[in-house]
Amino acid sequence: MIKLYKNGVPNLYWEAWSSPTEVTIHWGVLGQEGETREIPLAPGDDVTKILEREARRPKEDGFKEIAPSRLQRLVIQYQVEGMGRTTDLHKRTRVEGAMNECLGWRGLGHCDGGEIGSGTMNVFCFVVNVKTAIPHVLEELRKNELLEGAVVAVGDPQTVVWPRDFSGTFEI
């Protein structure tokens, strides 16, 4: 997978990835779903060469990769009993899937998995722009009926951004 970004007004993204049957090119304005084009793969095609060829023009136009260390962490946390139950694990899987869809299709980042135990369930995401990502994350949680009980925090150290009236202590 290749992910490229271009700062400007507006900020733009361009990405490409492969499956066994095609290469997918996806681009647009950061925070919007953008456009997609598929390139069918024939037997013997060199996927790496196709990805490099497709990335050449965006790179010439000023698109660049963002180092993983420059991505911002966003954590979605829920309280669970003890080490959590099977239903909590299923919920975590739903949150992870929703975040990958929400962030990925808008060029905002990705979900990096999660953990359950010691009274909390955490889902970890890494985003390009926190301010742009937060409204989409909250809407996706709301749409999937996953917002209730969620605490969303960003940065390191973490700053809680949802719920707005949060008064507790946030710890991972």
Give all domains of the chain, ordered by start, each with its CATH number: 2-60 (2.20.140), 69-162 (3.30.70)
Residue 73 near residue 155 (C-beta atoms within 8 A): yes
Question: Mean per-residue pLDDT for 147-162?
Answer: 95
Instruction: Report the DSSP pairing between strands 120-127 and 72-79.
Output: antiparallel
Instruction: pLDDT band for 12, please (50, 70, 90 cuts).
Output: very high
Burial class (CB in 10 A: 0-12, 13-18, 19+), 39: middle
Burial class (CB in 10 A: 0-12, 13-18, 19+), 13: buried
Amino acid 168: pLDDT: 87
Residue 25 near residue 39 (C-beta atoms within 8 A): yes
The SS3 assignment for 134 reads helix
Instruction: Report the DSSP pairing between strands 159-162 and 120-127.
Output: unpaired
Residue 82 near residue 119 (C-beta atoms within 8 A): yes
Name residue, tokens 């953990």.
Answer: 115
The SS3 assignment for 115 reads strand
- For 83-128, the pLDDT digits (tens) are 999 999 999 999 999 999 999 999 999 999 999 999 999 999 999 9
What's the predicted TM-score (pTM) here?
A: 0.92
Amino acid 69: pLDDT: 93
CA torsion 48→53→54→60, rounded to 10°?
130
- For 27-58, the pLDDT digits (tens) are 999 999 999 999 999 999 999 999 999 999 99
The residue type at 39: I
Question: Mean per-residue pLDDT for 146-169?
Answer: 94
Share the mean pLDDT of the chain: 96
Instruction: pLDDT band for 157, please (50, 70, 90 cuts).
Output: confident
